[in-house]
A and B are shown apart, each in its own frame.
Chain A
């Protein structure tokens, strides 16, 4: 806090009758106050600092300051060979490691121009859709807790734990998997995985509905989020928003459908956008609703994949991994839809080295967060929490 605004005591006047009465004058003014939110504030979901210029309860402007978690991803990437980058990519968006790996591997494979075995593609899609549900569960759960609802948080984390167990069983790690490799995956699914996965889908479907009824239709929750942090569709596109944020503004855009990769073109799923009956299109509630609806779509994708996945005896998921990864000279921009939006990698190869010449990560949260200044203008301080929560940032990916 810098300094408190000077109160206008002149408004206490002695009336002609001789009694002290407080007369609130119309021209009463307060001074601007700078209020720091973060870097250790729990609702900033990590280490983000917002410098809020406030006038009473109203935020005039909130300027985000980043870099507290900057770990020099791009510099690191220039120093190690391609497979060595994958573990760092895991640690960028640590809530959706599978999706990150997927995006990075797509970019490098595009540059290498190699064919991926069909079963590997199914494995990748299944694990990344599982990770998408897990990530959305964290987003929804922590959003609820930001706004004072404790129970949905526990429900979300209980179900997320089942997914983490499944992914741990497949990959050997609980959160940072290093499972999707360039040209393949680390291991085939263990025996019985398919059955457990479909059991989970059956188990989770009613739970998602329950969560919807508990939180999304909760009157207090709706009052806190409806009409807060509005973002019109054309401005959202101009800001480069992607993922649930963009869809929350009513733009039907999903890389899985609109710039298809892997086996997504063969799968049947819907791109979720709010219909405007329940929320105002473009507000924080819409963004939450999109995430809630998307979990069901991910379940649908997993179900289809489990059914369509080819069974092969003694399948080696590492068979297509090149012995030495040294792409031809060239540059590529590869991207995938991760739970927070478009995660892209711009990679430049000189054709001689096994290390990239340049590797830039286009982080979805970084871009989504850049609209914070505009979103927060003229909002109330408590609404600021509702807005940050709806952006669903992971600071590991923002700062890289």
Chain B
């Protein structure tokens, strides 16, 4: 099964993602990692977290890239690496049509990821949601509050080591 997967010719999607990645790599050098050329979702990682906003702006505005549409931003927990992170699915809508995913990671304890809410407005609520569920901070976000959970909820529910609080306003929280 795995062999057939590897022998398959690369799809047009992966080739386009690779071309886009090369442009980013040229500009930012070792701030970005190698491209993971899997067939499902080609992605690269931003190794220097503090440069993420700069990279994002370049990806949006460069005429060869034009990633003008952020489809999704998901928070992720990596307990074995002691890290939290986000995965952004970006796309050039109506222009080049290519897609790529970007991963940005930060330290698990009080980690900060630069906010891209000014680059893609989609990121505004999605970053709030990631903060709500995982507790990483987004530096430069104007309005970083919880969005789905109540404001006085304790803990970050989607972390793998999350313990439910016992009572909430005097009401027992069911297991």
Residues of A bordering B, CB below 8 Å: 66-67, 70, 72, 74-75, 78, 110-111, 113, 234-235, 237-240, 251-253, 258, 328, 330-333, 335, 342, 344, 346, 348, 358, 360, 362, 366-367, 370-371, 399-400
Contact = CB atoms under 8 A, between A and B. Distances in A.
Given A67-B148, A67-B149, A367-B125, A237 B40 contact: no
Interface in B89-126: 89, 93-94, 97, 101, 120-122, 124-125
B68 A237 contact: yes
Q: Which 3 A-B pairs have the closest CB atoms?
A: A240-B122, A360-B74, A362-B72
Contacts of A360: 72, 74-75
B94 A239 contact: no
29 contacts: A66-B148, A67-B148, A67-B150, A72-B157, A74-B133, A74-B158, A110-B40, A234-B68, A237-B94, A238-B120, A240-B69, A240-B70, A251-B93, A258-B97, A328-B1, A328-B2, A330-B38, A331-B41, A331-B87, A332-B40, A332-B41, A333-B72, A346-B87, A360-B75, A362-B71, A362-B74, A367-B125, A370-B121, A370-B122
A358 B72 CA distance: 14
B143 to A, nearest CB: 9
Contacts of A67: 146-150
Interface string B1-27: 110010000000000000000000000
Given A346-B72, A358-B74, A240 B148 contact: no
Nearest to B162: A75
B32 interface: no
A181 to B, nearest CB: 20
A99 B36 CA distance: 30
A333 B71 contact: yes
B59 interface: no
Contacts of B94: 237, 251-253
A366 B148 CA distance: 11
Given A240-B71, A346-B87, A333 B41 contact: yes
B133 A330 contact: no
A75 B158 CA distance: 6
Contacts of A70: 148-149
B41 A238 contact: no
B71 A342 contact: yes
Nearest to B129: A366
Nearest to B103: A331
Nearest to B39: A113
Contacts of A366: 125
B76 interface: yes
Contacts of B5: 113
A373 to B, nearest CB: 9
Contact of B72 (A237, A239, A258, A344): A344
Interface in B146-165: 146-150, 157-158
Nearest to A398: B148
A333 B43 CA distance: 11
A357 to B, nearest CB: 9
Nearest to A342: B71
Contacts of A110: 40
Contacts of A240: 69-71, 120-122
A238 B121 contact: yes
A265 B77 CA distance: 37
Most buried by A among B2, B89, B133, B148: B148
Contact of B74 (A78, A237, A328, A346): A346
B16 to A, nearest CB: 13
Contacts of B2: 328
A74 B43 CA distance: 22
B87 A344 contact: no
Interface in B28-52: 38, 40-41, 43
B122 A253 contact: no
Contacts of A330: 38, 40-41
Nearest to B87: A346
Given A67-B150, A237-B93, A400-B148, 13 more contacts: A67-B146, A111-B40, A238-B122, A240-B70, A328-B2, A330-B41, A346-B74, A360-B75, A362-B89, A367-B122, A367-B125, A370-B121, A370-B122
Contacts of A258: 97
Contacts of B125: 366-367, 370
Contacts of A74: 133, 158
Contacts of A328: 1-2
A64 to B, nearest CB: 9
A333 B147 contact: no
Contacts of B77: 358
Given A240-B122, A370-B121, A348 B69 contact: no
